[in-house]
Amino acid sequence: MTRSRAAGVDTGASTNPLPGFTLTMGFTVVYLTLIVLVPIAALAIKALGLSWKELWELATNERAMAAYKLSLGASLAAAAINAVFGSLLAWVLACYRFPGRRLLDGLIDFPFALPTAVAGLTLANLFSDHGWLGQFLTPLGIKGAFSRLGVVIALTFVGLPFSVRTLQPEIQMLDESVQEAALCLGAGRWRRFITVTAPLLLPTMLTGFGLSFARALGEYGSIVFISGNLPFQTEIAPTLIVMRLDQYDYTGAISVALVLMIFSFALLLTLNTLQGWADKFHQP
């Protein structure tokens, strides 16, 4: 009897190693329902109040399609830039020690703390025709503010920390013995990087790329000032939603918001798939 009770206790402990699972799980479900599921359900119910024909016309008119293309294109460009230069920053911060490293490491998180509207206003002033940087770029035909390039610049700024902070811990946890084994087998520096290091870091780089892309896709505050919000030119989808709300066009705003929500779900599914793929590289 004692043995069976002990076995029962062990079985329960292995199933629920921490106390209070039922209470914490219930709190988690309720919290996520109120914060995430209820707003999503409200948007879906509002969208179902429209006919399919009306919803399709509002969501795919010429202005909306132009906004989708700019949002997706600029977000992809910003995420690609962050994937390259963010990876270089992560490598430098993780592998080298130099004066000012802590300051540089802290500046990476600056876009997290800075209000996005402040970031947009600052970038607009920097890249305007008479700004500190714009006065040198404008004579070269490079227009940073009130252009599509300005949208990419702002989205790159807000998405940089996601690429760096995702990859930096992974670089720090690289197994040096694998590098030493490759060195003993005669592999040079570049060959070790291409054949050993890069395959280990690629899944995490793709995850950082996805997070940066997701952050850029829903960005609004930093775009308002630097883009100029010109329809068919520099207007992104979140800005179009706000403008339609200002005009009391709630059905038009809901249709665009529904399309962005579908994009977000697809991106979330892709990120989870990438995360599952990345976990295979850490299994013994």
With bands split at pLDDT 50, 70 and 90, how would you rate the model's confidence at 1? very low
195-224: pLDDT as tens digits: 777 888 888 888 889 889 989 998 998 898
- Look up residue 145 and give its two tokens: 């503010």
DSSP string, 211-270: HHHHHHHT--TTHHHHH---TTTT--HHHHHHHHHHTT-HHHHHHHHHHHHHHHHHHHHH
Give the amino acid at 149: L
Other beta carbons within 10 Å of 120: 24
Q: Are 158 and 148 in contact (CB under 8 A)?
A: no
- Look up residue 205 and give its two tokens: 């780089």
Measured in whole angstroms, how far is the alpha carbon of residue 239 from the centre of its chain? 18
99 or 273: which leads in pLDDT: 99
Mean pLDDT (the chain) is 84
pLDDT value at 6 more than 80: no
Provide the pLDDT for residue 8.
45
With bands split at pLDDT 50, 70 and 90, how would you rate the model's confidence at 278? low
Q: What is the rounded CA–CA span in Å between residue 203 and residue 199?
A: 8
Q: What is the rounded CA–CA span in Å between residue 83 and residue 64?
A: 28
Q: What is the rounded CA–CA span in Å between residue 282 and residue 237?
A: 38
Residue closest to 155 by CA, chosen among 99, 208, 227: 227
Helix (H), strand (E), coil (C) string for 182-198: HHHCCCCHHHHHHHHHH
- Look up residue 2 and give its two tokens: 């004692």
Residue closest to 151 by CA, chosen among 217, 63, 86: 217
Compute the chain's Rg from CA coordinates. 24
139-189: pLDDT as tens digits: 888 988 889 999 999 999 999 999 999 999 988 887 777 766 767 777 777
Q: Which of 23-27, 79-83, 87-91 has the lowest mean pLDDT?
A: 23-27
DSSP string, 46-113: HHHTS-HHHHHHHHSSHHHHHHHHHHHHHHHHHHHHHHHHHHHHHHHHHH---TTHHHHHHHHTHHHH
Per the listing, tokens 């690429």 go with: 163
With bands split at pLDDT 50, 70 and 90, how would you rate the model's confidence at 280? low
pLDDT value at 11 more than 50: no
Residue closest to 152 by CA, chosen among 64, 231, 68, 81: 81
- Look up residue 195 and give its two tokens: 């054949």
Instruction: Indicate left, alpha or beta for 143 from its phi (over 0: left) and psi (-120 to 50: alpha).
Output: beta
14-23: pLDDT as tens digits: 555 666 778 8
- The whole-model pTM stands at 0.82
pLDDT value at 2 more than 50: no
* pLDDT (mean) for 222-246: 90
C-alpha distances out from residue 141 to 131, 138, 144, 147, 148, Å: 15, 5, 10, 12, 14
